[in-house]
Amino acid sequence: MIEIFHYGFMQNALLAGAIAAVLCGVVGIYVILNRLVFIGGGIAHSAFGGIGLGYLLGANPLVYAILFSLATALGIGALSDRSKVSEDTAIGVFWAVGMSLGIVFISLSPGRAPDLFDYLFGNILAVSSFDILIISALTLGMILLVALLYKELLILSFDPLYGEAVGLPVLRLRLLLLSMVALSVVVLIKIVGIILVIALLTIPGAIGRQRAKSLKGIMLLSIFLGISFVSVGLLASYHLNTPSGATIILAAAATFFLSTILSR
């Protein structure tokens, strides 16, 4: 069974999945604690606009997906904080605009329309060395940010009013956290696709929160679970001839439901 990982594309897939699992373990718990799940979904879908622009300009779509995701994260945060527009309304607007721009850009692209199945549903088996480089750089940057701002992000997640009282720049911290979510989304698009990205970002953290008592413990358990889901999903998809991204998510979801049933 392990011999399938002798193939180069499977090694790339496992490496990319392991790096993404580390990212999910570190950032995913903040998504859950700050109730940013639906914001993450909006960011993921708006990234489709950047993918379309990349195809239109003949550049790497993931680079422009990063720009669109960051713009969406900052836009949602600023719009919901400084206007009478509710957060869910802002998410819906950016969600629709990003998807619409992506469709328009792709329709304007010269030549034959590209196959977008991999970006919508993921194709971890097609991860290139350049993709792994981008994923590694973003993950390393995220880990450094969390290490530097661990106390501040902890206060933001559990008691933002106390943070304001002691002089923490709560709004800027929230915008920074949204930007971290945006970059995490871009990393995961290549793994499981736009449609399923929020599941891999939140399920390991949700299980970790059920089983661990400290924030660091939740992160470590989430990382271990994420790597396990990727490994099991890759093996199962190889033998069952099913899409790898969807199989990884189903493995994670099955574990989540089992953990929930067994929890008191």
- CA 137, CA 135: separation in Å to the nearest integer? 6
- CATH entry, 2-255, from 1.10.3470.10, 1.10.3720.10, 3.40.50.11890, 3.40.640.10: 1.10.3470.10
Residue 14 binned pLDDT confidence (cut-offs 50, 70, 90): confident
Q: CA-based Rg of the chain, rounded to a whole angstrom?
A: 18
pLDDT in tens, 97-140: 999 999 899 888 887 666 677 777 777 888 888 888 888 888 89
Torsion of CA 213, 35, 196, 72, to 10 degrees: -140
pLDDT in tens, 152-178: 999 998 888 888 888 889 889 989 999
